[in-house]
Structure 1
Amino acid sequence: MKKWLVAVLMITMLIIAGCSNDSGGGVSTENSTIQKVLKEKKLIIGMSPGYFPFDMKDPNGDFVGYDVDTANALAAALGEDIKVEFKQFTFDGLVPALRTGEVDMVFAGMTIRGDRALAVSFSDPYFQTGQAVMVPGTDTATKTWQDLDVKGNKIAVGIGTTGALLAKDVFKNAEILDFEEFPSAAAAMAQGEADGVVYDEPAIAVWKLKNGDSVNQLEELISTENLGIAIQKNDFDTIQWVNSFLNSYLGSPAELASRNKWFETSDWLNEVVDE
């Protein structure tokens, strides 16, 4: 009986040791992003300005937009003494920056996708959107994205975005052109270098507000998707805290005011610059 008890105790100790080992892919509570931010009194956010109306800059170079409001609210919920620092990257440079610890979180209107979830973890969704198609205002014949899928047509996308992956999957005949960011893709279409642009619906809707009849947005969405905050892989302490924050923030007076400002009005369009 004693030998049996000793064996059980040894197995239990091995299990406990294994669970506490970070080699299992998790992040210990002591080393979590939340604990780091609380200790250093600073939250570093990775963004990719140019994604209207989520991530933008004003003429002074300050970050503005719905994601910026959300990030500032998150930091304030951690404590009044927490400062926020925004760092700019190209969209496809955001995940590497998060994985190497250059930033603490990514707020970039990032779609929750399985391939990305292999490299980072995501919060619960904080916004639902979809992929839309924009065409020149002179194009009155195109009614659906399928109409654009013709040999000789060119579709502009932002490299590394969900729209880019989706376009390369669904367009079988048209050529897909990669651009660094959405404004570059839209500018290429305006210059006659592309016949359409595939990108997130809110950004295209804002572009339509800015450019009026020079562009058209097709009514049908190619897809619907959820946006999430990207966090270090398996940082469960931080994931749980961020989800708790979102649960209280979404639908609050502050969030509704932010949503109304950026998605329901256009007064701010003259206060931001294209990246």
Structure 2
Amino acid sequence: MQSKARLVVMVLSFFVIAALVQPCMAGELHNKLAAESTIEQIVKRGTIKVGMDIFVPWAMKNKKGELVGFEIDVAKQLAEDMGIKVEFVPTKWSGIIPALAAGKFDVIIGGMTVTPKRNMKINFTRPYYYTSQGLLANRKMTEGFTIEDFNSPEVTIAARLGSTGAVAAKANFPKARLRLFDDEPAAVQEVKNGRVHAMVGGQPLPAHIASESPDTLKAFGEQLMKEPMCFGIRKGDVDTLNFFNNWIEIVRAKGWIDEKYSYWFESTQWKDQLQ
């Protein structure tokens, strides 16, 4: 009987100790994860590293060689509100998600929209704005075309590699031939030179480019795909996701995002700044 009593006491003691130790271990783990979060590392470093690619009007070079654009303003305002500096890390779009995962920078702020395929590799914040894809065509090659006429095996359409413009082109014009380029300027040049019939790109690029060369190019008004724009961050980082989500809510509520979007997407006042 005594041995059984001792066994019962030992078992109960084990569970009591486990119950006391488990919260301590959980607390230590929580503190460790919080200390290792990207947002904590950014604060300690005093600089946020932002991955982006060059494309109009999200991020461009002005006449002084400085980065300007909608996403540049967003990233600068984020850094200012955090009381830190911002460092931009230009990265080819096709490799921007692997670069984020590899720790080359802290966050993607570069007109990135959410797709299931991308979301399997990285996490996304809530949307801070929405964009759409549009069609820019060579006027001579597509004379008399309606939007439906581009869905033909005789038509070649360009898009940027790894972009949702390429997704929109496949979805809207599955019968057309698709050519992919590392950046949008190269795709636009192919349209201008008549080597492709059209290109699909994020608005307002098609409308702006067409307005510069109305005799050569034409923009179609149809919205090919509406998409939410979000920050991209590495997986498993709840604290960083929480901070960015709350910051987005604050600046949207103040109307700051709408103001910047209107300037960069609905006006051309900024064009004389560019190289």
- Give TM class, smaller chain: 0.7 to 0.9
The alignment yields a C-alpha RMSD, in angstroms, of: 2.5
Are residues 1:39 and 2:47 paired?
no
Residues 1:77 and 2:52 are matched in the alignment: no
Of 131, 134, 144, 1:132 maps to 134
Give the superposition deviation at 1:120.
1.0
Instruction: Determine the structure 2 residue equivalent to 1:155.
Output: 157
Q: How high is the sequence identity, in percent, across the aligned residues? A: 26
Distance 2:172 2:17 in 1: 57
What is residue 176 of structure 2 aligned with on the other side?
174
Structure 1 residues without counterparts, runs of 5 or longer:
none
Match status 1:143 vs 2:146: yes
Q: Distance in 2 between matches of 1:219 and 1:210?
A: 16
Question: 2:128 touches 2:257 (CA, 8 Å); kept in 1?
Answer: no
State the Cα distance separating 1:20 from its structure 2 match. Answer: 7.3
Structure 1 pair 141/254, CA: closer, same or farther in 2 (3 Å)? same
Larger gyration radius, structure 1 or structure 2:
2
243-252 vs 182-191, which moves further:
243-252
Give the 5 Å matches for 1:206-245.
Answer: 206-245=208-247
Greater RCO (CA < 8 Å, at least 6 residues apart): 1
User: Aligned partners of 2:186 and 2:127: how far apart in 1?
Assistant: 27
Q: Could you say if the C-alpha distance between residues 16 and 154 of structure 1 is closer, same or farther in structure 2, counting changes exceeding 3 Å?
A: farther
- Selected match of 1:191 from 157, 180, 193: 193
- Whole-Å separation in 2 of the counterparts to 1:191 and 1:111: 29
Instruction: Give distance in 1, aligned partners of 2:171 and 2:240.
Output: 34
- Output the TM-score relative to the length of structure 2: 0.87
Structure 1 residues 15, 260: closer, same or farther in 2, change over 3 A? same
What code does the residue aligned with 1:148 have? F
String of CA shifts for 1:115-174, please: whole Å, max 9, x gaps.
Answer: 111111111101111222121233332221x31111121110100001113323443321
**Deviation of residue 178 (structure 1)?**
0.6
Asked if structure 2 preserves the Cα contact closer than 8 Å seen for 1:210 and 1:269, the reply is: no
Matched-pair contact (CA < 8 Å) for 2:113–2:229: yes
Query: Residues 188 and 7 (structure 1 numbering): CA distance in 2 closer, same or farther, change over 3 Å?
Result: same
How much does 1:184 deviate?
0.8
The answer as to whether partners of 1:133 and 1:197 remain within 8 angstroms in 2 is yes
Q: Which runs of 5+ in 2 are unaligned?
A: 1-7
Amino acid at match of 2:63: P
